């Protein structure tokens, strides 16, 4: 049985803009009345200083576009972004596209048929026998079940697998409204675009994927939603989400580590999805972590915002590029369900 090892990561970002500039030049006019004052406070306290957008609202206002028009634009923008991330990951792993046995693509911000997986397989020169899997509408935690599926393939088949998470949240700015809608304000203040790819191989040097695990509290299914509307996809985000995370996150992590003979105190790398500052604060408190433990997550939120599914891989990439990379990494991501996912990685020298 082959141990799946992450042999290469590749990231890609569209152009960025400062959070203050996005507020001053677009969102300050997008909200009105009492909503505007609330929105200004949320933007200022978002923990985000810069964000990336394939469709920059400073240049192009998509808020009144139909969903059809947004989906057509998704195809135009996602393909080159995904190609860049995949190319970098394959280069880092020393492989070619023809070596890939399974190609997993995660995205909840755009759909098309033929999909991103087929178009990238064509353009990158993957073998006709390459298997493909598309993971849609799992939201911010999708990278981890994607990583698990890729790892299982590597273990079962002894062949490389490739994971790509690509999200264009900039396509889903909702129409302006005078009605106070805190959920939409938070969404508009946090979300960003990115693509990250990971290559997994059977054994060798890199970070071994020991386990991917999850817990879903279906009694809170309405706390986080992503609805397809006539004007793009609309986020629903309950203020109760941090409370649900606080109920489940400690047991999820403790049980994961215990199955591998580890303790929380021995983990020297944390890649925690920054759904927002409150999410990170809850995880830090419930796990009893020092403030420095989530520095990579907070820095990623600051520089890139919440990019949905690629975000936890962006944090992992930051950890692995540190002067002293961690030996053991716990990845955590959260999304609709309400679902918590965790993964344990260990460095193989």
**Residues belonging to the active site:** 140
Alpha carbon distance 252, 48 (integer Å): 28
Residue whose pair of structure tokens reads 């009694």 in the numeric block? 219
Do 309 and 315 meet the contact criterion of CB atoms below 8 Å apart? no
What are the phi and psi torsion angles at 203 (to 5°)? 75, 180
161 to 100, 157, 201, 241, 331: CA distances (angstroms): 5, 10, 7, 33, 19
Place of tokens 């994971």: 163
CB atoms near residue 324 (< 10 Å)? 6
Pairing of strands 328-335, 339-348: antiparallel
The two structure tokens encoding residue 144: 């981890």
Q: Are 201 and 246 in contact (CB under 8 A)?
A: no
Residue 265, CB-side half-sphere exposure with 13 Å CA sphere: 0
Q: What is the distance between the alpha carbons of residues 9 and 11, in angstroms, rounded to a whole number? A: 7
CB 109 within 8 A of CB 191: no
∠ CA 314-126-317, rounded to 5°: 10
CA 67 to chain centre: 22
Question: How far is the CA of 111 from the CAs of 8, 105, 136, 190, 301, in angstroms?
Answer: 27, 12, 8, 22, 26
Range 126-154 burial, b when 16+ CB lie within 10 A, else e: beeebebbbbeebbbbbbbbbbbbbbbbb
């Amino acid at each position: 049985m082959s141990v799946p090892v992450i042999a290469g990561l590749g990231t890609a970002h569209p152009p960025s803009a400062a959070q203050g500039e996005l507020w001053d030049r677009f969102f300050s006019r997008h909200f009105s009345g009492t909503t505007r004052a609330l929105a200004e406070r949320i933007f200022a306290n978002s923990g985000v200083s810069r964000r990336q957008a394939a469709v920059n609202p400073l240049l192009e206002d998509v808020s009144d576009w139909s969903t059809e028009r947004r989906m057509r634009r998704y195809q135009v923008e996602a393909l080159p972004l995904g190609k860049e991330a995949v190319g970098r990951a394959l280069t880092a792993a020393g492989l070619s596209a023809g070596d890939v046995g399974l190609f997993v693509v995660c995205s909840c911000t755009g759909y098309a048929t033929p999909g991103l997986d087929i178009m990238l397989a064509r353009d990158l020169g993957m073998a006709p026998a390459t298997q493909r899997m598309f993971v849609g509408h799992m939201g911010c935690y999708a990278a981890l079940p994607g990583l698990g599926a890729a790892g299982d393939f590597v273990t079962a088949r002894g062949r490389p697998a490739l994971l790509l998470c690509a999200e264009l949240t900039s396509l889903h700015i909702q129409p302006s409204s005078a009605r106070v809608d805190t959920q939409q304000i938070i969404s508009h203040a946090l979300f960003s675009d990115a693509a990250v790819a990971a290559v997994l191989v059977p054994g060798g040097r890199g970070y071994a994927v020991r386990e991917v695990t999850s817990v879903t509290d279906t009694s809170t299914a309405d706390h986080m939603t992503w609805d397809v509307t006539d004007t793009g996809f609309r986020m629903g985000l309950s203020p109760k989400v941090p409370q649900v995370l606080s109920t489940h996150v400690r047991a999820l992590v403790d049980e994961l580590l215990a199955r591998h003979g580890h303790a929380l105190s021995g983990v020297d790398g944390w890649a925690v999805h920054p759904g927002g500052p409150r999410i990170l604060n809850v995880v830090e408190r419930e796990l009893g972590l020092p403030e420095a433990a989530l520095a990579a997550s907070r820095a990623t939120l600051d520089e890139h915002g919440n990019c949905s599914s690629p975000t936890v891989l962006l944090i992992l990439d930051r950890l692995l590029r540190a002067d002293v990379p961690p030996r053991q990494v716990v990845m955590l991501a959260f999304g609709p369900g309400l679902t918590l996912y965790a993964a344990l990685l260990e460095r193989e020298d």
